[in-house]
Chain A
Amino acid sequence: MPGPRRIRLPEHTLEIVSDAGEGAQKAAVAFAQLCAKAGNGLWTVEIIPSEIRPPPHTTGSASGNRIRLAERSRVTNAGNRANVVLAFNEMALLSRLEANSLADDVLVLIDDQWATHEMEQYRRSYREVLDRFRSGAAKIIEVPLEKETLRHVEDAQRGKNMFAVGLLCALYSKDPNVLDEVIRGIFKDKTQQVVEVAVKLAAAGHQYGMAHLEECFEIPSSQSEVPKVAMNGNTALALGAISAGFELCSMYPITPATSASHSLSEIFEDFGGFVHQAEDEIAAIGVALGASYAGKTALTITSGPGMALKTEFQGLAVMTETPLVIVDVQRGGPSTGLPTKIEQSDLLHALYGAPGDAPKVVIAPSTVEECYYILSVARKIAEELRMLVIVLSDANLATGQQLFDRPDVSKTPPRPPLDLSPVPLGTLPYDWDPTTGLSQRLIPGQPGGMGVTTSLNHDRDGKACYDSERNERGHAMRSRKLATLQQSLKPPTVHGASEGDLLLVGWGSTRGAVEEAVDMARAEGLAVSSVHIQFLSPLPPGLKNIFRRFRRVTTVELNYSDDWSDPLITEENRRYGQLAWLLRAATLIDVDCFAKVPGRPYMPVEILDEIKRVLDVQPALAAPGPARAANEGVN
């Protein structure tokens, strides 16, 4: 048997979608593991229905995964529009089209049972959707998923996904034996019978593919020398919290932060810690603050609405100089907004939300790998500098799975024990070093250090006072600590040439897409570079110098800004994106912004389009900008 013709490609992006509950996600997990074992770089993102129980066979019910696999080992973002989509029904397929997630020439593999289904409504919608695709450049392969699955099991709902994985295994020229291994691993806690059926279905899917596909893809790979792990950002935060030595995480359930607490709850008690679910967001941070005050720095995890509720306590942490770490997994706002979608719009709130002047450290991880390590940094800074540290993650990192080098656990330092040694006579609770603003904190149990920690303004001796001089001193010292930290920060490295026509500045999880877009632009000869900022407060040194070497500087961020072309918007009233506000103020440079709120990550091509628009270069004959395509449909 000749088998399908192989097409070699450096990377591919595919989506697997079904109705909620039909197992597309499990299929995706299996396929992703298959590719990872083969040595491909990976980035996967969940496609989540917005409700818990959406009606089946509707666009609102689509659930699944997007997988980007590549020859190179480091994949930094979810990619552009998908090249392949495997859909269990036409409504799931349609939802991906409406999300503008599919390339014009996408290859569609779809379950053909709806063509001859007994329900007229399904037959009709199946025809209509496929017609729409056919009128464009898409290629459609109708696959008898249901029918083939029923040859092996009685209930196709439990098994179609395994057949689909087998089919994908053939489509991507992967080794079916490795797939067998992967499936056995995934189902290892199930009965022998279930495992055998799953394995059989996958093999059947693979055989079908080899027999019926005309073409298949080969994304080559290389085995890496170092072991790799795959997990999403929330899991990385949970493991990172453990390796950072935290003993208490207090939280209140809120999407999309909760899964981090779930991961922690499962294992924390084996590591000398526990997760406390408080009665509300305010109590959650209160408990964390109390624990930190008592000597064991604690952690609280939340999202945007929770940050708002915690604001008063943030001020308390800063005023009392109690170390504390808050993780904000940002989501679409304002108010309840889009709980499951990505945005980066809590930056200014994190910086300035607390009333009065409350200087604090704000840092943002840009990859899942950074989510693992960032809590160690946060904790160290919090404890040593007696500061509040806010870690800004987002829904993209939280749910996106990335492959990265397995961390060297053996390097994890042991928790230093609690220092209960007596305090020398005359020690002051806020003995600020006049240069750095740093002071040693006293913790309960240390003999001789008794005294009240108050939220009122105080001087070095900790006692409440109301005069101007001491108020200003307190402010100066708390602010000085930021400068102290800033002195130990390095300027960010520029991705690309150190000078040019355009510099893109990003923060958080947009890094991958930005750098990929810059690479594409540079390949076309455009003088574009990018820089990524990890510390938002204090800002790293050297920004002005870097910015000055480019004709234009613009931020790329996922939060709202007015469009220059919108009616009534002028130079005087245009609202900028949040990082742009910050950088304009800090550097006095006319930093522009590409700041939108699509609720999904930027694709590199979108950023490339913006680069070209800014540089006034004709854009390639690509589809119109993302925001409008959803309304107009694919033409």
Chain B
Amino acid sequence: MVSMLAEESLLEVCAIETHSLEDYEAEPPRWCKGCGDHGVLAALQRVLRKNNVDPENVVSVSGIGCSSRLPHYLKTYGFHGIHGRALPIATGVRLSRPELPVIVIMGDGDCFSIGGNHWLHAIRYNINAVVLVLDNEVYALTKMQASPTTPDGWKTNTTPRGTYLHPLNPLSAVMGMTNISFVAQTATWLPAHLDETIDKAWDHHGLSFVRILQRCPVFMPKAFGEGGLNFPVVFLEHADGIPIHPLLRKRGAVQAHDHRDINEAQRVAVTVDPAPMGLVYQNPDVPAYEEIRWQRQDRPDHQTFLRRLEAEMDRYTVT
């Protein structure tokens, strides 16, 4: 790890080289017209440009699903892996190259269903990464099966007569975990809010869990009250929270919320109607797993390495 000082020096020089939005665009996205994923991609590109991040120094990791195609369209190093397993791969990247920021993109089935185990543990590890779950409440790529967040009684191809159970509430699940450091919710039809949320998630040190309610115009056009038109939301407001654009104040109620108070955050997380939008919880002081491991590790030079290896061998030497 390069010391802070050397990084500062470097920033001074490299600050003269600025990046434009095109620098973060790979191939044109192949999502359906009106898909909420477009907005998330744009927001990510804007945040990278704002912070003038070199494209080669970012890694995006995804699972399988429509949303997980994002790394194909973002011009950084991307890993489009297997269904539900983006978080372990991201953990591996963070553990071996802690200087590279990581963005994880998953869908609701990818993260909450097959990836559920990794999801809970990743939160506890609090790896320093931006974790975006694009929740369209259905499995879209495989043509409309129910996901854990599909609403009550909804008809899908695997539940033709309606779903059987109440949908999972990811916010309250996360709020029950240990080591949570950042929990936020936003929606793709509130672009100003989406941008600010991703911005804040990027600045946070720790695992920034963001659930993004996302329109799927093809398979779930009626979800979220006709794509956000009749979907009651309440914006969480705090001086250090996610800023609320004046125009958004007409789209929903505004509620003061202290995101540093875990009990209040848990109460908010349990609410589903109206859906809370904004920073639910933040604790900037939770250490990240990779920091803990790197701090305890010694990185000797080669001579010391050999000396220590000889000493280890001595322990097993018999003659």
Interface residues, chain A, with chain B CB atoms under 8 Å away: 33, 36-37, 39, 223-224, 227-231, 235, 239, 242-243, 247-248, 250, 267, 269-274, 276, 278-280, 282-296, 298, 312-313, 316, 320, 403, 406-407, 409-410, 412, 414, 442-456, 463-464
Q: Is the CB of A412 within 8 A of B81?
A: no
Q: Is the CB of A283 within 8 A of B56?
A: no
User: Nearest residue in B to A226 (C-beta to C-beta)?
Assistant: B319
User: Nearest residue in A to B296 (C-beta to C-beta)?
Assistant: A269
Q: Within 8 Å CB of A448, what residues of B?
A: 56
Q: Is the CB of A271 within 8 A of B300?
A: yes
Query: 29 A-B pairs, CB-CB below 8 angstroms?
Result: A223-B319, A227-B317, A267-B312, A269-B298, A270-B300, A270-B308, A271-B300, A274-B95, A274-B293, A276-B293, A278-B88, A282-B85, A286-B85, A286-B87, A290-B91, A292-B92, A294-B93, A294-B97, A295-B97, A296-B97, A312-B82, A313-B85, A410-B306, A414-B302, A450-B55, A451-B78, A452-B80, A455-B64, A455-B80
Q: Is the CB of B88 within 8 A of A36?
A: no
Q: Within 8 Å CB of B90, what residues of A?
A: 290
User: Nearest residue in A to B62 (C-beta to C-beta)?
Assistant: A452
Selected contact of A445 from candidates B56, B71, B72, B79, CB within 8 Å: B56
Q: Is the CB of B91 within 8 A of A36?
A: no
Q: Within 8 Å CB of A287, what residues of B?
A: 88-89, 91-92, 95
Selected contact of A290 from candidates B80, B92, B302, CB within 8 Å: B92
Q: Within 8 Å CB of A36, what residues of B?
A: 318-319
Q: Is B297 an interface residue (CB 8 A)?
A: yes
Contact indicator per residue, chain B 281-319, by CB within 8 Å of chain A (1) or not (0): 000000000000100111110100110111011001111
Q: Is B163 an interface residue (CB 8 A)?
A: no
Q: Within 8 Å CB of B88, what residues of A?
A: 278, 282-287, 289-290
Give Cα A175–Cα B310 distance, bound, in whole angstroms: 29
Q: Is B77 an interface residue (CB 8 A)?
A: yes
| Extra contacts besides A449-B77, A451-B78 (14): CB < 8 Å | A227-B317, A229-B317, A242-B312, A250-B92, A282-B118, A283-B88, A286-B89, A286-B91, A298-B92, A447-B56, A449-B56, A450-B26, A455-B81, A456-B80
Q: Is the CB of A283 within 8 A of B96?
A: no
Q: Within 8 Å CB of B300, what residues of A?
A: 270-272
Q: Is the CB of A288 within 8 A of B92?
A: yes
User: Nearest residue in A to B92 (C-beta to C-beta)?
Assistant: A290
Contact indicator per residue, chain B 171-201, by CB within 8 Å of chain A (1) or not (0): 0000000000000000000000000000000
Q: Is B121 an interface residue (CB 8 A)?
A: yes
Q: Is the CB of B92 within 8 A of A445?
A: no
Give Cα A486–Cα B75 distance, bound, in whole angstroms: 37
Give Cα A469–Cα B56 distance, bound, in whole angstroms: 31
Q: Within 8 Å CB of A464, what residues of B?
A: 72
Cβ distance B18 to chain A, nearest Cβ, rounded Å: 15
User: Nearest residue in A to B23 (C-beta to C-beta)?
Assistant: A450
- Asked, given contacts A279-B117, A286-B118, A455-B80, whether A296 binds B316 with beta carbons under 8 Å apart, the answer is no
Give Cα A449–Cα B54 distance, bound, in whole angstroms: 12
Q: Within 8 Å CB of B56, what residues of A?
A: 444-450
Selected contact of A298 from candidates B87, B96, B117, B299, CB within 8 Å: B96
Give Cα A456–Cα B62 distance, bound, in whole angstroms: 13
Q: Within 8 Å CB of B319, what residues of A?
A: 36-37, 39, 223-224, 227-228
Main secondary structure of the interface of B (DSSP, over half): helix
Give Cα A294–Cα B59 distance, bound, in whole angstroms: 9
User: Nearest residue in B to A280 (C-beta to C-beta)?
Assistant: B117
Q: Within 8 Å CB of A285, what residues of B?
A: 88
Q: Within 8 Å CB of A456, what residues of B?
A: 80
Q: Within 8 Å CB of B313, what residues of A?
A: 229, 239, 406-407, 409
**In the complex, which of the residues A247, A291, A450 has the most CB atoms of chain B within 10 Å of its own CB atom?**
A450
Q: Within 8 Å CB of B302, what residues of A?
A: 414
Q: Within 8 Å CB of B54, what residues of A?
A: 447
Q: For window 58-72 of chain B, which residues contact chain A by CB distance below 8 Å?
A: 59, 61, 64, 71-72
**In the complex, which of the residues B57, B71, B319 has the most CB atoms of chain A within 10 Å of its own CB atom?**
B319
Q: Is the CB of B118 within 8 A of A444?
A: no
Q: Is B22 an interface residue (CB 8 A)?
A: no
- Asked, given contacts A291-B92, A450-B75, whether A283 binds B80 with beta carbons under 8 Å apart, the answer is no
Give Cα A72–Cα B284 distance, bound, in whole angstroms: 64
Cβ distance A354 to chain B, nearest Cβ, rounded Å: 11
Cβ distance B98 to chain A, nearest Cβ, rounded Å: 10
Q: Is the CB of A452 within 8 A of B79?
A: yes
**In the complex, which of the residues B79, B87, B316, B318 has the most CB atoms of chain A within 10 Å of its own CB atom?**
B318
Cβ distance A485 to chain B, nearest Cβ, rounded Å: 26
User: Nearest residue in B to A407 (C-beta to C-beta)?
Assistant: B313
Interface size class of B (residues with CB under 8 A): 35 or more
Give Cα A239–Cα B308 distance, bound, in whole angstroms: 11
Q: Is B76 an interface residue (CB 8 A)?
A: yes
Q: Is the CB of B298 within 8 A of A272?
A: yes
Give Cα A292–Cα B79 distance, bound, in whole angstroms: 12
**In the complex, which of the residues B59, B75, B90, B91 has the most CB atoms of chain A within 10 Å of its own CB atom?**
B91
Give Cα A409–Cα B309 distance, bound, in whole angstroms: 7
Q: Within 8 Å CB of B316, what residues of A?
A: 229-231, 235
Give Cα A521–Cα B8 distance, bound, in whole angstroms: 73
Q: Within 8 Å CB of B82, what residues of A?
A: 312-313, 316, 455
Cβ distance B128 to chain A, nearest Cβ, rounded Å: 14
Give Cα A274–Cα B75 distance, bound, in whole angstroms: 31
- Asked, given contacts A33-B318, A446-B56, whether A283 binds B72 with beta carbons under 8 Å apart, the answer is no
Q: Within 8 Å CB of A409, what residues of B?
A: 306, 309-310, 313
Cβ distance B170 to chain A, nearest Cβ, rounded Å: 18
User: Nearest residue in A to B97 (C-beta to C-beta)?
Assistant: A294
User: Nearest residue in A to B293 (C-beta to C-beta)?
Assistant: A274
Q: Is the CB of B80 within 8 A of A453?
A: yes
Q: Is the CB of A274 within 8 A of B297?
A: yes
- Asked, given contacts A243-B309, A283-B117, A455-B80, whether A290 binds B61 with beta carbons under 8 Å apart, the answer is yes
Q: Within 8 Å CB of B100, what residues of A?
A: 294, 444-445
Q: Within 8 Å CB of B309, what residues of A?
A: 239, 242-243, 271, 409, 412
Cβ distance A612 to chain B, nearest Cβ, rounded Å: 37
Q: Is the CB of A452 within 8 A of B78?
A: yes
Q: Is B27 an interface residue (CB 8 A)?
A: yes
Q: Within 8 Å CB of B75, what residues of A?
A: 450-451
Q: Within 8 Å CB of A270, what residues of B?
A: 298, 300, 308
Selected contact of B92 from candidates A231, A289, A453, CB within 8 Å: A289
Q: Is the CB of B57 within 8 A of A444?
A: yes
Q: For window 252-287 of chain B, which residues contact chain A by CB distance below 8 Å?
A: none
Q: Within 8 Å CB of A243, what residues of B?
A: 309
User: Nearest residue in A to B98 (C-beta to C-beta)?
Assistant: A294
Give Cα A449–Cα B75 distance, bound, in whole angstroms: 10
Contact indicator per residue, chain B 88-128, by CB within 8 Å of chain A (1) or not (0): 11111111110010000000000000000110010000000
Q: Is the CB of A291 within 8 A of B318?
A: no
Q: Is the CB of B310 within 8 A of A37?
A: no
User: Nearest residue in A to B80 (C-beta to C-beta)?
Assistant: A454
Cβ distance A286 to chain B, nearest Cβ, rounded Å: 3
Give Cα A449–Cα B55 distance, bound, in whole angstroms: 10
**In the complex, which of the residues B56, B75, B310 has the most CB atoms of chain A within 10 Å of its own CB atom?**
B56
Q: Within 8 Å CB of A230, what residues of B?
A: 316, 318
Give Cα A272–Cα B1 distance, bound, in whole angstroms: 12
**In the complex, which of the residues B79, B300, B317 has the most CB atoms of chain A within 10 Å of its own CB atom?**
B79
User: Nearest residue in B to A464 (C-beta to C-beta)?
Assistant: B72
Give Cα A4–Cα B231 distance, bound, in whole angstroms: 96
Q: Is the CB of B317 within 8 A of A293?
A: no
Selected contact of B71 from candidates A37, A294, A452, CB within 8 Å: A452
Q: Is the CB of B318 within 8 A of A228?
A: yes
Q: Is the CB of A248 within 8 A of B96?
A: yes
Cβ distance A107 to chain B, nearest Cβ, rounded Å: 26
Cβ distance B95 to chain A, nearest Cβ, rounded Å: 6
Q: Within 8 Å CB of A444, what residues of B?
A: 56-57, 59, 77, 93, 97, 100
Selected contact of B78 from candidates A279, A295, A403, A453, CB within 8 Å: A453
Cβ distance A591 to chain B, nearest Cβ, rounded Å: 37
Give Cα A443–Cα B93 distance, bound, in whole angstroms: 11
Q: Is the CB of B61 within 8 A of A450?
A: no
